[in-house]
Amino acid sequence: MEKESNNKTGLRRHHFFSAFNSIPDAMVVTDINRRIISVNSAFVKLFGYKRGEVKGKETSLLYSSEQDFSDAGEARFNPDSDVKAEVYEVLYRRKNGEIFPAESVGSVVKDDDGETIGYLAAIKDLTREKRRSEEISLLTKRLRLVAAIVANEEKDFEAKMKNALKLTTDLLGFEIGIVSRVEGGTYTIHQYYPETADLEVGMQFDLRETYCSITLKADDVVCINEMKTSPHNAHPCYTKFSLESYIGVPLIVDEEAIGTINFSSSKPRKEPLGQADEDMVRLLGQWLSSEFEKQAYQNELKKSRDRFRLISHNTADLVCLHEPDGTYEYVSPSVKKILGYTEDELLGTTPYELFHPDDLQKIQKESHERALKGEQVHHVHYRIKRKDGEYIWFETATEPILNEEGEVANLQTSSREITDRKKLEKLLKDTNKLASVGGWELDIRTQELFFTDEVYRIHELPLRTKLSVEEAINFYAEEDRPAITEAVNYAIQTGEGYDLELTLVTAKGNRKWVRAIGKTQVDEKGEAYKLYGVFQDLSMRKLMEDQLKEKNEKLEQLLKATNDINAIIGHDLKSPLNTIIGFSDLSVKALEEGTFEAEKFKKFLNLIYTSSKGMSTTLDDLLKWSRLQTGDLNLDITSIDIKRVGRHLSDFYQASLSNKELKLKFDFGEHSQIRADESMITTMIRNLISNAIKFSNEKGEITVRLEKSRDDWVLTVQDEGVGMTDEVKRDLFSPLDHPSEYGTKNEKGTGLGLKVTEKLVKLHGGRVEVESEVGKGTRFKLYFPNDLSPE
């Protein structure tokens, strides 16, 4: 669980820093002590520091003053703060010492337990905005002079224009105010004041016969206090209309003069027009110009939107109009069905808030950035969040809408949901991956070879690696290359396909079993032009087959062992048990009938005792054998008094030795302590002594000897019995057979004792050696390390 949690944490961290570096504003991540952990590229550009210069430094170096740094800490950047996202303005200092204003969004970062672990801030330089604000402030002061003239509650632009003409004309003390439109050489009256003037809307004049010709040529405010004394006293307008005073300014839309706003009188000015008057008229001209421009744009936009709505309302796709930064300006009604939002809920927001975090960079790079360059973008796939929180797949085409200057004014997108298609694609991909199946194709004429992703994975190659046919064939094991080469050539020549199972050596040197299937496509002339097919990794299947085979063999061994154990239980345990029951019954009857004889009773007890010990030994061997077969027997290394073990075994076999008048000799020399598993060592020696007694002739000798070599203890059990043939020696430790011969007095054994002994020696890291000759006896040697220690 901890590893899985770490993987998820690592994945979330990766997603965070990917988005972190793509943010256009400067980003700073600090620890709880406000020391910088990470900054993004925008930070480096804004502050002039390299990442290494600020990493680990306190953020105080970024503030214009210690007080600002301290205030920020008290207000939001402290462990007790719960600030999630607070916007504030503060002065910062660049590396070069320059102080600049910025807007910051600060938040406290907490871990899953709610403990503060650091802080995050986004910083936006407000230098340009502040300068612009100052300019606007200055302009606003002037506009306030105009505001009294143009401000009213009328929403109609023409009504506002009339009001502006009236107030300005009266304020400046002129007789007539006119807003004109100029096209070519024609001057047209658009609005005028007062209504009593001998003018009409739409009345036209030759531009050359109006003072506006002077204004348009000057491209600025023109003031004439007395035409008679001015350089323009020969102007046709003065000759024709005798207008003595005049002030006018061009109206500019898209850098082109579309007309003028001007004021005139038939009398000279008593008080000359001043700079304030010029500024006021200039501002009034700018206001009218912007209104005309806005009106033109809105008219054009309305036409465009009318056309846009006509199309978007009749399509099931989601059709949207965006500002260049992505902000929604229009959303088609289908958004409700597709995303669950109403149109109003999305207008004014940006789709970046809905994109899946993993797809942000892809959308920005493959779609948004290209569209802003004026490119049409088709078929970008990404995930977007529905209102209910579910992510669905979109396929979107983006078309930039350009203004007259060729700049991107809007972005039009058309999106359709492809979630079901993606699910099918993923299902097919996962199915192929699960089955380790991929596809390939060879253009026989161009020799261009194509692999699907799964084929690259089978080869352990990077995706899209270019390979020639020869290079692809060389991935097969050397012994299989002739077969695949012949199959490919034969398929091209005859049109017949092939289906082969071969060995592949991957780019990383791993050997895999693969299935290569090829088919041929022929043209109308019957000539092969394409070879294609399926490529499957069979390694897992082959491994499972091998494992199944190995398990079957082990099961066969286990079944054989189980059958043998059943036979032992059915025969070798039943026989001594019958002996115990029989002689116990005879002893009880003799006592009841009063025919008790001490010697006979002693003989009965001896037989019962001998049979009981035999059963005990057999059961012990069966138990150990069973535990060895299941791997349930573990070493318990301790210090053993080997001489005590010898005394115990001497007592244990006293009766069996007496029956054959055998001598049991222990020769441990000076060695009294060894390190091993006492129970196992006792069982090994007991089994070898039991085997020696069984195959010894009467009055023979059995020797148990312990010696120490440089690396091993050597435990030898030697008898002077009948010995064994090479064939018997060969099968002594067979996993499938339990050879058991009758002893010199027809003793029957299980055949397990020696196998148990061999297994126990191997558990100690040792081995068994057997020396035997028919008629001369047998010597078993057990070797096990002399430096055993507890595991």
pLDDT at residue 139 is higher than 70: no
What mean pLDDT comes out for the span 717-739? Answer: 80
Distance CA 690, CA 778 (A): 13
Look at domain 317-423 and name its CATH class.
Answer: alpha beta
In the chain, domain spans: 2-125, 135-297, 317-423, 435-537, 634-785
Q: Name the 3-class secondary structure at 416.
A: strand
- pLDDT tens digits, residue range 268-299? 998 888 887 888 888 888 888 888 888 887 77
Q: How far does CA 348 lie from the centroid of its chain?
A: 33
Output the pLDDT for position 454.
85
Q: Please, what is the Cα angle at 586 between 580 and 592, to 5 degrees?
A: 135
Concatenated DSSP letters for 83-137?
-SSEEEEEEEE-TTS-EEEEEEEEEEEE-TTS-EEEEEEEEEE-HHHHHHHHHHH
**Confidence at 768, pLDDT banded by 50, 70, 90:** very high
Give φ, ψ of 673 to 5 degrees: -125, 130
- CB neighbour list of residue 742: distance below 8 Å, 6 or more residues apart: 748
Distance CA 71, CA 60 (A): 11
Please compute, for residue 725, the number of CA atoms within 13 A of its CA located in the half-sphere on the CB side: 5
* Amino acid letter for position 756: V
- pLDDT tens digits, residue range 338-396? 999 999 999 999 999 999 999 999 999 999 999 999 999 988 999 999 999 999 999 99
CATH superfamily of the 634-785 domain: Histidine kinase-like ATPase, C-terminal domain (3.30.565.10)
- CATH for the stretch 2-125: 3.30.450.20
Mean pLDDT estimate for the chain: 83
**Confidence at 306, pLDDT banded by 50, 70, 90:** low
Q: How far is CA 356 from CA 17, 19, 108, 336, in A?
A: 15, 11, 23, 19
Which CATH fold topology does 435-537 show?
Beta-Lactamase (3.30.450)
Number of H helices, E strands in the chain: 25, 28
- pLDDT tens digits, residue range 616-656? 766 766 666 566 665 667 788 899 999 998 898 888 778 77
- CB neighbour list of residue 727: distance below 8 Å, 6 or more residues apart: none
| Lowest mean per-residue pLDDT among 106-120, 180-194, 572-586 | 572-586
- pLDDT tens digits, residue range 497-545? 899 999 999 999 999 888 888 888 887 677 888 898 888 888 777 777 7
192: its two tokens = 């005028």
pLDDT at residue 585 is higher than 80: no
pLDDT at residue 430 is higher than 60: no
Show contacts of 362-368: CB within 8 Å, 24+ apart.
364/22, 367/396, 367/398, 368/326, 368/398
Share above pLDDT 70 across residues of the chain, in percent, rounded to a whole number: 82
Which CATH fold topology does 135-297 show?
Beta-Lactamase (3.30.450)
- pLDDT tens digits, residue range 416-426? 888 877 775 66
What mean pLDDT comes out for the span 735-756? Answer: 67
Question: Would you give the DSSP letter of residue 339?
Answer: H
* Amino acid letter for position 587: S
Distance CA 694, CA 657 (A): 10
pLDDT at residue 431 is higher than 80: no
Q: How far does CA 344 lie from the centroid of its chain?
A: 35
Among candidate residues 361, 377, 327, the one with its CA nearest the CA of residue 347: 327
The answer to whether 675 and 640 are in contact (CB under 8 A) is yes
Share above pLDDT 90 across residues of the chain, in percent, rounded to a whole number: 37
pLDDT at residue 733 is higher than 80: no
Tell me which H or E stretch contains 513.
strand 511-522
- The pTM score is 0.33
Distance CA 57, CA 33 (A): 10
Instruction: Return the number of other C-beta atoms located less than 10 Å from residue 751's C-beta.
Output: 20
| Full 3-state SS string of 625-683 | HHHHHHCCCCCCEEEEEHHHHHHHHHHHCHHHHHHCCCEEEEECCCCCEEEEEHHHHHH
* Amino acid letter for position 139: L
Asked whether the domain spanning 317-423 has the same topology as the one spanning 2-125, the reply is yes
CA-only gyration radius of the chain, Å: 52
Between 733 and 208, the more confident residue is 208
Please compute, for residue 742, the number of CA atoms within 13 A of its CA located in the half-sphere on the CB side: 3
Among candidate residues 752, 737, 653, the one with its CA nearest the CA of residue 702: 653
Output the pLDDT for position 571.
44
**Confidence at 728, pLDDT banded by 50, 70, 90:** confident
Instruction: Return the number of other C-beta atoms located less than 10 Å from residue 51's C-beta.
Output: 13
The answer to whether 370 and 363 are in contact (CB under 8 A) is no
Output the pLDDT for position 626.
63
Question: Would you give the DSSP letter of residue 462?
Answer: -
pLDDT at residue 10 is higher than 60: no
| E-only strand ranges, 157-196 | 176-183, 186-193
Distance CA 763, CA 746 (A): 33
**Confidence at 758, pLDDT banded by 50, 70, 90:** confident
**Confidence at 138, pLDDT banded by 50, 70, 90:** very low
pLDDT at residue 61 is higher than 60: yes
Among candidate residues 665, 646, 667, 636, the one with its CA nearest the CA of residue 760: 636
Distance CA 689, CA 756 (A): 14
- pLDDT tens digits, residue range 473-487? 999 999 999 999 999
434: its two tokens = 């699960």
